[in-house]
A and B are shown apart, each in its own frame.
Chain A
Amino acid sequence: MTMTPASTTTATCPECDAAVAPPADPVCGEILACPSCGAELEVTGITPFAVAVAPELSEDWGE
């Protein structure tokens, strides 16, 4: 498994412009909550660290 090193930079929440720090060992596709507005975000880049609004729940999602 290739682990991408954590970036020291922060990303900006697309919903509220707050700074979003990367989690430990971030992985593209990882889901985060914006610490300011609570929006569900998806990690889209590691270096530089980037996030986008996560896809909305679809009816066929589940276990």
Chain B
Amino acid sequence: MSTSTIALVASRIRVEEKLLLESYAALGANVVRVDERDIALCIDRLDVNALNAALGGADAVHDRGIAFGTSLHLGCVLDAAGVVCVNSERVVRTCGDKARTTIALAAAGVPQPPTRLCFSTEQALAVLDNELGYPAVVKPVVGSWGRLVARLNDRHAAEAVFEDRETLGDWTHRSIYLQRYVAKPGRDVRVFVVGDEPIAAVFRTSEHWITNTARGGRTSRAPHDGVFGDVALAAARAVGGGIVAVDVVEDPHEGPLVLEVNHGMEFRNSIEPTGVDIPGAMAAFVLRCARAARERREEALCIGVEQ
């Protein structure tokens, strides 16, 4: 079997991307690094040859771009051209927007905290007063690393935050995403799902109610089987599969609830506590996707020759 070629798309090479490059090398894969800042894509007519050239003739794309908008549009082009990309445009589109994620999880029956979407301050305040209660959490529909996530302890806090967002925010803040605050036990759980398998999980512990590692949360090993693995796998499937990190919170009454699903997961702080070769598993999965894509292409060519 000939060696697969993977286009690793990333402009910003973090620890994660360096680890992935090492993993691909260890697996004997050819890797073409593509900096999205260096490519121009013809989209008024689909030029598959030019796209293949831009991707170094890769069998599949591993998108590690850090910008949601770029991944979204690159994914659109790749999808239209039939190029396999991990993660797919569907996964990126669904995970990159918290409202879309919530809707996808609900459609699949994945447990999550009570969540409301409003388009005016008046409705948002009414929902808090009459349905969700306080404290509650408001999150930007697009955003990561806990940025601009605010805990609303009372109506005064809510009024202040909504006024700030209305005055200073961009158009994405006009969609007000509200969630009931879950009194979690000082931690949440991040489950790494690769393909159809939860491969590792960490508790993220913090004295602060925001437990993101980007905000100082500490990681320790968590079980990735049992309820955490089950709910994470269901969430991953709900958004379209691929490679995702599912954030789960333990509600004292409801059990595990999914907060969000991340399509461009960071994992540097989770390798040591879990002892799991997360980048190795990711690279192996993308290579399997690449081989399957190549086999499909070769099969199609054979059919074409026979006809």
Quick one: closest A residue to B8, CB to CB?
A1
How far is the CB of B27 from the nearest CB of chain A, in Å? 10
How far is the CB of B182 from the nearest CB of chain A, in Å? 20
B284 at the interface (CB under 8 A from A): no
By a CB distance below 8 angstroms, the chain A residues around B18 are 25, 27, 30
Partner of A30 from the list B13, B262, B263, B264 (CB cut-off 8 Å) is: B13
B160 at the interface (CB under 8 A from A): no
| B contacts with A: majority SS | loop
Partner of B264 from the list A3, A25, A55, A62 (CB cut-off 8 Å) is: A62
| A1-B24, A1-B30, A1-B31 known; A59 vs B13 contact (CB < 8 Å) | no
B66 at the interface (CB under 8 A from A): yes
By a CB distance below 8 angstroms, the chain A residues around B106 are none
B257 at the interface (CB under 8 A from A): no
> Complex formed: what's the CA distance from A54 to B21 in Å?
21
Question: Which residues of B66-102 have CB atoms within 8 Å of chain A's CB atoms?
Answer: 66-69, 96
* A63 pairs with B266, CB closer than 8 A: yes
Q: Count of chain B residues with Cβ under 8 Å from any Cβ of A?
A: 32
B142 at the interface (CB under 8 A from A): yes
Partner of A54 from the list B12, B31, B144, B170 (CB cut-off 8 Å) is: B12
* B14 pairs with A62, CB closer than 8 A: no
B33 at the interface (CB under 8 A from A): yes
How far is the CB of A41 from the nearest CB of chain B, in Å? 12
Going nearest first, the 5 A-B pairs with the smallest beta carbon separation are A62-B144, A63-B262, A60-B68, A29-B13, A1-B31
The interface of chain B, by Cβ under 8 A from chain A, is 10-14, 17-18, 21, 24-25, 29-31, 33, 35, 66-69, 96, 142-145, 147, 170, 245, 262-266
| 16 sample A-B contacts, Cβ–Cβ < 8 Å, listed by A number | A25-B18, A29-B10, A29-B13, A29-B17, A29-B33, A30-B13, A42-B12, A59-B143, A59-B170, A60-B67, A60-B69, A61-B68, A62-B144, A62-B262, A63-B245, A63-B263
